[in-house]
Structure 1
Amino acid sequence: MPETPSPAPVQPAAQPRHGARPRVIVAGLGDTGLLVATRLARTCDVVGISTRPALVSGQELGNRLTDPDRWRRSYLVPFHRFRGLDRIRTVHGRISSVDLTRREVHVEGVDGDTAVETYDLLVIATGASNGFWRHDRIEDLQAIDDDLAAVSTQLEAATSVAVVGGGATGVSVADNLARRGGAQVHLFHSGDEPLPGYHPKVRRWIVRELQGNGVELHPGHRAELPDGFTGDRLTTGPVSWSSGQEPFEADITLWAVGGMRPHSRFLPRELLDDDGFVRVDEHLRVPGHPNVFAVGDVAASDPFRSSARNWGWQVVVANVKARTGGRDRKLKRYQAPEHRWGSILGLQDDGLVVFQPDGKRVRIPRWIAEPLLFRLFTTRYLYGGLRPHRPGHR
């Protein structure tokens, strides 16, 4: 019989080794990691590690491609503008390895040197790669701007665009491109309707919306990806289909085929599931490692890995605080909804449509959504306030 592996040793409660407050490393300062870091900084010594010197959100790709200036205001924000990060030391680099016994994180910096950061608790929020817009390359602000400009230039020159993938990203891109005009937009998806994982009411509604905005839908199409290609760039040339249809060629093809690749290579293999996502329990804690938590797209929290969108950051913040106070019996549980929910198309001229898990939708007029949702709720409540943007400065 195969030898049964020994269970991981139970670690003691996190006792501060760096002064009066416990040190927490937040690995990844995207949408989720940023919220965790700014909240924990009130009671902990927080170090945030990021491959970029700014929040570069993976949300609202459709708006990012069609109205990049407006998208930047909410979704591309240099860290120095976040008042909530004033109490946090940020490290610009990528994690190369973690020593869970010594509680050390090894970071490859922008200069190629490796630094070692120690922790009492570790929060893994490194996200996942998906298409050209989400990756873990080390970048500066100029590289981010160059990428945005290059993609916008390619799309503006196209008279026909093929979007491959019927998830929320593909739907958002196709609809926003069609609304902007200037190109015929084709959306290819493998199922009968787009948006798998959403409530049937949402799926039926989005079909009507896409068709009404001029998107040509192609259900039942499953693309053949060339060997080694992950959809991480725009392509030209014909797209072939394993589902048997004739190849299709547009000026530009944008790939939104899913297949997320978690940013978890720096972790020991035993912490990961078969697809490389970080195993977590109902408290978003890594089994066998009570001082390590994972949240967001990198965490195998549920079949949809939805802790990035369902207040998973609040669960982690509460549980890290409970852990540092020796209150393990007070840990909060993360509960995922049955269906995906939220905004799909982003803010439009006629407002913002938000879907609920039960399929109901609410349209928030633009004149309410911009000041209340984006400026008051997101900027002030979630992010803790932003310093004003100064023209000519990033």
Structure 2
Amino acid sequence: MIVGAGFAGYNCARALSRQAKGAAEIVLLNPLDYFLYVPLLPEVAAAILEPRRVAVSLTGTLPGVRLVLGHAHGIDLDARRVTYTDPEEREGSLTYDRLVLTVGSVNKLLPIPGVTEHAHGFRGMPEALYLRDHMVRQVELAGASDDPAVRAARTTFVVVGAGYTGTEVAAHGVLFTDSLARQNVGLRDGPRPRWLLLDVADRLLPGLDERLSHTADRVLRGRGVDVRTGTSVKEATSEGVLLDDGEFIASRSLIWCVGVRPDPLVEGLGLPTDKGRLCVDAYLTVPGHPEVFACGDAAAVPDLTRPGEVTPMTAQHAQRQGKVAAHNVAASCGRGKPRAYEHRDLGFMVDLGGVQAAANPLHVPLSGPLAGAVTRGYHLMAMPGNRVRVAADWLLDAVLPRQGVHLGLVSPWSVPLDTASPEVARLPRGSDGST
């Protein structure tokens, strides 16, 4: 049984399916019926890609794997049983011989007044769709207002966290809102949408190579993004954001990209953890439970290339750990020998929108259109499906204007920041408890 279908879970299921060839039952428990290609979510929010382009069907691409829709909420290690809640709020349970935990991560929260109530994260499809609608709605409301202060507040967007996600959201967002403003008669005389990107670190992309940071900083500032390092949020309200330097930014948009934390399911296991991540050995096995494997964001996997460290929470590691977990599950059943996980990063790519990107494939620094082409090429190769559709959307975006329409599919209360399931929009409940 594999719990979670992110980068680690999906690749584990695919590798196991190919190895088993029908000789074993493989069950994948996941709240949704698709694998989400998270790196392209900013392009969904910016109306470049349609949502289904980054959603790869699990049943359509994982032959030999039985999909069970549900959110795992408990694991009995002694009874080898996983309990879950399905999309219709019915309780269920499944037993296993081997268990692979790849439950991923959720939004990281900080004890800052007002953030939970007024900020929205960027971890799943519902949040991306909400942000797309929200940007369109704010620009339209600004164009319809005669009050300069209201217009300025509605066209001011604050992104907190200048890591991989926050940088890409700001880079794509400023291009999208500029396009919307140009089309809006009420905003042709200004103000131009304003974007702020905040981080307590001393530079953008603090976890990546400094050359990537410098490229991203130059591109964003060139587009008018107000990049503020060494700065954080002191308080958030419905009217704006109070910064820790005392400045108040009037805004209706607070986008929370400060990082992630392991899925809360890990805490309930009662097993040793490292900063919330489940401790495993180099073979991705949970000590004391040889039948349980864990990888991806939820597991503290020893980094054999950096003794004493654990692998960072990146898709690059999760994808490869999933394949190693599949190999070791098969080895535990007598097919092959277990293999320790070891991987040196191959570089990173940050899509900055338009033809711009910052990349260092194989640690060769690239910027500009060349980096943009390499980045898109990498994403097409890394995606397990929908490649032609993604490429077609990119082509259409290059020759046609963006479709800036507010569909109203996701309400603000449907995507709370403090949620254990950012991949699922919260639904209203009836008086009888049904959704």
Alignment TM-score, normalising by the size of structure 1: 0.74
**Residues 66/236 of structure 1: CA separation in 2 closer, same or farther (3 Å cut):** farther
* Residue 31 of structure 2 is aligned to residue 29 of structure 1: no
- In structure 2, the partner of 1:355 is 360
Distance apart, 1:77 and its partner CA? 3.1
- In structure 2, the partner of 1:196 is 206
Q: Percent identity?
A: 23
- In structure 2, the partner of 1:12 is none
Q: 2:349 aligns with which of 320, 343, 349?
A: 343
CA-based RMSD of the aligned residues comes to: 3.2
* Residue 164 of structure 2 is aligned to residue 168 of structure 1: yes
Contact 2:121/2:255 (<8 A) preserved: no
- In structure 1, the partner of 2:71 is 94
**How far apart, in 2, do the equivalents of 1:65 and 1:222 lie?**
24
Contact 2:266/2:298 (<8 A) preserved: no
Structure 2 SS opposite 1:41: helix
Spell out the pairing of 1:3-14 with structure 2 (5 A cutoff). Answer: none
Spell out the pairing of 1:152-301 with structure 2 (5 A cutoff). Answer: 152-156=132-136, 157-158=138-139, 159-180=155-176, 181=178, 182=181, 183-224=193-234, 236-242=238-244, 244-265=245-266, 267-273=268-274, 275-301=275-301
Contact 2:70/2:87 (<8 A) preserved: yes
Amino acid at match of 2:55: L
**How far apart, in 1, do the equivalents of 2:271 and 2:82 lie?**
17
Contact 1:168/1:195 (<8 A) preserved: yes
Distance apart, 1:134 and its partner CA? 2.7
- In structure 2, the partner of 1:334 is 342
**Residues 368/236 of structure 1: CA separation in 2 closer, same or farther (3 Å cut):** same
Q: 1:313 aligns with which of 303, 322, 337?
A: 322
Structure 1 SS opposite 2:68: strand
Distance apart, 1:176 and its partner CA? 0.8
**Residues 121/41 of structure 1: CA separation in 2 closer, same or farther (3 Å cut):** same
**Unpaired runs of at least 5, structure 2:** 108-119, 140-154, 182-192, 302-308, 391-435
Provide Cα deviations, 1:143-189, integer angstroms capped at 9, x if missing partner: x66x6544322112242211111111111111111223242211111
Q: 1:119 aligns with which of 96, 100, 108?
A: 96
- In structure 1, the partner of 2:188 is none
- In structure 2, the partner of 1:15 is none
**How far apart, in 2, do the equivalents of 1:209 and 1:238 lie?**
26
Structure 2 SS opposite 1:217: strand
**How far apart, in 2, do the equivalents of 1:368 and 1:292 lie?**
38
Contact 1:221/1:245 (<8 A) preserved: no
Provide Cα deviations, 1:277-301, integer angstroms capped at 9, x if missing partner: 2112222222222221112111222
* Residue 90 of structure 2 is aligned to residue 110 of structure 1: no
- In structure 1, the partner of 2:401 is none
Provide Cα deviations, 1:344-364, integer angstroms capped at 9, x if missing partner: 226x44276533474623765
Contact 1:296/1:305 (<8 A) preserved: no
**How far apart, in 2, do the equivalents of 1:357 and 1:373 lie?**
12
**How far apart, in 2, do the equivalents of 1:121 and 1:385 lie?**
33
**Residues 373/309 of structure 1: CA separation in 2 closer, same or farther (3 Å cut):** closer
- In structure 1, the partner of 2:29 is 49
**Unpaired runs of at least 5, structure 1:** 1-24, 136-143, 227-234, 389-394
Contact 2:351/2:372 (<8 A) preserved: no
Contact 1:35/1:383 (<8 A) preserved: no
Distance apart, 1:67 and its partner CA? 2.1
* Residue 58 of structure 2 is aligned to residue 79 of structure 1: yes
- In structure 1, the partner of 2:121 is 132
Contact 1:126/1:263 (<8 A) preserved: no
* Residue 331 of structure 2 is aligned to residue 322 of structure 1: yes
Structure 2 SS opposite 1:133: coil
**Residues 66/48 of structure 1: CA separation in 2 closer, same or farther (3 Å cut):** same
Of Structure 1 and Structure 2, the greater helix share is in: 2
**How far apart, in 1, do the equivalents of 2:76 and 2:203 lie?**
45
- In structure 2, the partner of 1:3 is none
**How far apart, in 2, do the equivalents of 1:248 and 1:384 lie?**
40
Distance apart, 1:61 and its partner CA? 3.5
Distance apart, 1:262 and its partner CA? 2.3
Structure 1 SS opposite 2:43: helix
**Residues 185/91 of structure 1: CA separation in 2 closer, same or farther (3 Å cut):** same
**How far apart, in 1, do the equivalents of 2:122 and 2:197 lie?**
18
Contact 2:267/2:276 (<8 A) preserved: no
- In structure 2, the partner of 1:39 is 15
- Which sits farther off after the overlay, 351-360 or 163-172? 351-360
Distance apart, 1:109 and its partner CA? 1.7
**How far apart, in 2, do the equivalents of 1:295 and 1:240 lie?**
38
Structure 2 SS opposite 1:86: coil
**How far apart, in 2, do the equivalents of 1:262 and 1:350 lie?**
35
Contact 1:280/1:286 (<8 A) preserved: yes
**Residues 59/41 of structure 1: CA separation in 2 closer, same or farther (3 Å cut):** same
Amino acid at match of 1:316: A
Spell out the pairing of 1:365-380 with structure 2 (5 A cutoff). Answer: 373-374=378-379, 377-379=381-383
Contact 2:44/2:129 (<8 A) preserved: no
Distance apart, 1:113 and its partner CA? 2.6
**Residues 320/89 of structure 1: CA separation in 2 closer, same or farther (3 Å cut):** same
Contact 1:284/1:334 (<8 A) preserved: no
